[in-house]
Structure 1
Amino acid sequence: MTGNFGLKTKMDEAGFTQRELVDAVNGKLREAGEHPTVGDRTVRTWLTGKSCSPHPAKRHALEAVFGCTAEELGFIRPLAERTEEDVHRRKFCGAVTGAAVAVPLPAARRAVGSSDVLRARKGLENLTSLDQARGGHAALEKVALAGACDTLELQQRAATQRIRQRLFSVAADYTAAAAWSCVDARQLDRAQQHLNEALRLAGMAQDITAQMRVWNATALLAHQRREYGEAVAAAQAAQATSITRRDPFFGSLAHARAAVGHANCDDRQSALRSLGHAEDALAKADERPRPGWVAFYGPAELHALAAILHDRVGSPAEAEAASYRALSALPEKYRRNRAMTIVRLALAQLHQGDIDRGCAATADAFALMVGHPLPGRLRVVLGDFHRDLFTLAPTAAVTREWGDRYRSEWSPA
């Protein structure tokens, strides 16, 4: 499994090295009359997430060492210790939808079959819906990782190898959802670790769509890190997956990611060429069923990405027009995406010298996200607007007013 950041955080807070934690846990085991069986390797499996459900005696010793529950340390209770009521009670912390997303677990001795795979996958729909409305946040990441852990437990009792592969695919999607939440929340190191694990699981599943999902998120992560060459490479890896040849819809998304990467590398010609390929491929795409995670993509998202590209290559008027086309086509439920597009529109207006309209446009973005913390990616784009605004008009009254009104809303805590 992916890294256990709960345990790592608690160790950092307490000042424990791995060796010191070994000694502390073994000490608690001795006090309880248990044999001290924890070693450096044991702690490594906890920290890497390979072991997400320690043996009860070790779990109790960990709880005694840190003075908190195993769940607070990032662990999941073993399957046998969970009741059906526990599973159905688990919900997102603070989720406005109130939708439960835990994986329904079958009776402990029954072989896991196709119906269990379908139930496990259904929880992904709730993750996607919440991300569309609110954006990435810690609760989404946590529940996605719990879903992955539950699914990996199920695969140990899979009735056939085919069922086992399908469960690895579901676990890959849960882990990729956790990674995307971290990308959106600007928790970039955690996102990279989740993506590494998601790619491993997708390979075990032999799932080309899940692999495409990971490379798509990897391109976004590289963009957030301003590693633009790597973003292009990830987009090209996405283009190389066979799903892009079977379905031009996925091919369009991969070309669109490459287009933005080329624009960030100041390669105007390659950027426009990739954008053209993305538009051509999307025009050929049919209405076949596709996974929920890719529902965000379509004409509206392609217009939004074109707006980023045109602004990067010095065509702000075209970027403004593309932003308006994106907003006209973007469904209302995609609040985070609409807010991002509005700020991109404001940037395009600002880069044309229209300071008043740019400042006024950002108000709509703040209004869309009212009641929820702004996702990290949105804060970064607002920070770009703030920087460019003060560069272009440092003494203007509208500049001071914008800073006074919104600084506390978009600045990181």
Structure 2
Amino acid sequence: MTSSTVTSPRPDRPPRPNLAFRRLRGKRSPAEFAAAVRRAAREIGERVSCDARYIGRVEAGEIRCPNYAYERVFLHMFPGRTLTDLGFAPRSSVRGRRARADEEATGAHADRAPGTASETRRAREPYDTPDTHHPHHPYDPHDDNEESDVLRRAFMMSGATVAAASLGPLALAHDAVAAGRPPRRAGAGHAGALEEAVRRIRLLDDRHGADGLYRRAAAPLRTAYALLDAGATRQATADRLYAGAGELAISVGWLAHDSGRFDDARSHYAEALATSRMTGDPALEAHAFCNMAFLARDAGRPREAVRAAQAAQRAARSLGSARLLSLLALREAGGWAGLADRVGCEQALTRAQALFGQGPSDADPEWMTFYGEAELEGLEAQCWSTLGDWPRAARHARRAAALQDPHFTRNLALYSAELADDLARGGRPDEAAGAGMRVLDLLGEVQSSRIHTMLAGTARVLLPHRRASGVSAFLDRHASLPRTA
């Protein structure tokens, strides 16, 4: 099998695509396949943070041999196959190459790399073995010495894992910024650390919501902009840093948005938009406008939501992602609903559904892993709720909750809260109380001011119906929740 052949350690040779792994993905999008990997991991008690970008790196040949956790998951998913059958290189050959690279880097930069090559190798072994052939630039032992898998140490807050601390280049840069020392010029390792920071913040938000994450996530963002100010060793690295900083600004903005800090969110989104305009990055521009439209809707500025969503669609037209255009049409629909324009809302919803029906593609942005049929139903439910069509809103919210991948715990709580509110306002208090109880069951794991606010509104609507079945129990349990700041 050609894809499992170990490549020669020539620095000018790009990674060989893993065609065997690509065939196993079949017609599923990278995001859908990543979700299947996470489900398989849960079946055998493993925890992997697999997303569309990881699948892309495997298929591109950047990950020549997975770490042990991923190995167990892949062999569980494809019983009877070996790693080489899946297109990976034998672990022994990759480790041998890694050892040689470490020894060379340690010999060339002994004053910069504390510890022996074997110690460096042992520290890296739990994670995917890095490949010295990076797709964005030629091999440089200086960059390779700095490259590492990052943000692996989780810290605890309010009884739940809510963020990850930096390990490697980003941590060193952050320490320098905190001490008032400007960082050195940024290399590919810093860009990779920044991209990993974005990925892990999103994964943690999927599970736990924003409230515990927001303030912790601001530190990596400050470090990202300090790295931009310091400059990069190569233009390709600078481009990755700008894109990563913009995406991180959007992620931090979303955390502010979801935790009710609308002014902070607006500022972060504006930073991302400015970065996209400065670098001519239409993908980042579309993402920034997408989130600005969502924020404007929630902040009671529906006309601004429509304009921002339309601007996002103009930026996204050249990107080739029907799923992205579908989401942006839903953002526009939310604005029209806020303007009480039912016709405009229905037209945008129809566009969103038609575009969604075109299916996923490799052009879909990495950050859109959350956008599947459940999110489509959930956002449509919000539109009908805003228009006051409670029965229709409840139907879509119920579908959203039923379709949601359990990995996205926060969204499962959100859809259930939407359902509870729609049922309560639609005159079905007993069903509303049942849905509200399911939300309360998830609040030990999810910290989101948005969900707390929705549930408080539902409780107020249900107060006159305390004698209905289950309502009293829901109201008492809701009243016992700790008050959020």
What TM-score comes out, normalization by structure 2 length?
0.61
Q: Which residue pairs with 1:404 in the alignment?
A: 476
Is this contact kept in 2: 1:185–1:375, CA < 8 A? yes
Give the AA of the match of 2:165.
A
Rounded Cα–Cα distance in structure 1 between residues aligned with 2:398 and 2:468: 27
SS for the counterpart of 1:96 is: strand
The answer (yes or no) to whether the contact 2:430–2:468 under 8 Å persists in 1 is no
- Correspondence for 1:223: 297
Matches within 5 A, 1:204-219: 204-219=278-293
**Distance of aligned partners of 1:397 and 1:356 in 2 relative to their CA distance in 1, 3 Å threshold:** closer
Inter-partner Cα distance in structure 2 for 1:287 and 1:305? 21
Structure with the higher helix share, 1 or 2: 1
Q: Deviations over 1:287-339 (max 9, x none)?
A: 31644432111211010011112223233222222122212221101111111
| Higher mean C-alpha deviation, range 153-162 or range 268-277 | 153-162
Q: CA deviation at 1:101?
A: 4.1
Whole-Å separation in 1 of the counterparts to 2:163 and 2:344: 45
Hey, what does 2:311 align to over in structure 1?
237
What corresponds to 1:389 in structure 2? 462
| Equivalent residue number for residue 353 of structure 2 | 279
8 A Cα contact 2:169 2:189, kept in partner = no
The amino acid that maps onto 2:196 is K
User: Cα offset for 1:371?
Assistant: 4.8
CA RMSD of aligned residues (A): 3.0
Mapped contact 1:92–1:101 kept (Cα < 8 A): no
Per the alignment, do residues 333 and 410 of structure 1 end up closer, same or farther by CA in structure 2, a change over 3 Å counting?
Answer: farther
Change (3 A) 1:110 1:187: closer
**Preserved contact between residue 176 and residue 214 of structure 1 (Cα < 8 Å):** yes
- In the alignment, the residues of structure 1 paired with residue 291 and residue 328 of structure 2 have an alpha-carbon distance, to the nearest angstrom, of 11
1:37-52 superposed matches below 5 A: none
Give the aligned partner of residue 196 of structure 1. 270
Aligned residues: 327
How far does the alpha carbon of each residue in 1:263-283 deviate from its partner, in whole angstroms, 9 at most, with x for none?
Answer: 121111111110010111111
Alpha-carbon separation, structure 1, partners of 2:376 and 2:459: 25
Q: Indicate conservation of the 8 Å contact 1:235/1:258, yes or no.
A: yes
Equivalent position to 2:450, from 371, 377, 382: 377
Which of residues 200, 209, 223 in structure 2 aligns to 1:126? 200
Q: CA deviation at 1:167?
A: 0.8
**Counterpart position of 1:100:** 165
Task: Between 304-313 and 397-406, report the one with greater CA deviation.
Answer: 397-406
Q: Structure 1 110/381 Cα, relative in aligned 2: closer, same or farther at 3 Å?
A: closer
Question: Which runs of 5 or more residues in structure 2 are unaligned?
Answer: 1-145, 174-181
- How far has the Cα of 1:218 moved from its partner? 1.2
Structure 2: distance between partners of 1:312 and 1:183 = 19
Structure 2 Cα separation of the partners of residues 198 and 225 of structure 1:
19
> Residues 373-393 of structure 1: CA distance to partner in whole angstroms, max 9, x if unpaired?
x41111221122123324x64
Closer, same or farther: CA 124–352 of 1 in aligned 2, 3 Å: same
Cα deviation, residue 348, structure 1:
2.3
Judge which range, 109-118 or 185-194, deviates more: 109-118
Q: For residue 357 of structure 1, what is the aligned residue in structure 2?
A: 431
Name 1:56's counterpart in structure 2: none
Matches within 5 A, 1:254-403: 254-288=328-362, 290-372=364-446, 374-390=447-463, 393=465, 401-403=473-475
CA gap 1:322/1:117 in 2 versus in 1, 3 angstroms: same
Q: In 2 relative to 1, CA 103–253 (structure 1 residues): closer, same or farther, beyond 3 Å?
A: farther
Shift of 1:132: 0.2
Is the contact made by 1:90 and 1:102 (CA closer than 8 Å) also made in structure 2?
A: yes
1:165, 1:204 within 8 Å by CA — same for their partners in 2?
Answer: no
Q: 2:206, 2:409 within 8 Å by CA — same for their partners in 1?
A: yes
* Residue segments in structure 1 that go unaligned for 5+ positions in a row: 1-82
Bigger mean CA deviation after superposition, 264-273 or 110-119: 110-119
Measured in 2, the distance between the counterparts of 1:202 and 1:331 equals: 31
Relative to the length of structure 1, the TM-score reads: 0.71
Map of 1:154 onto structure 2 = 227
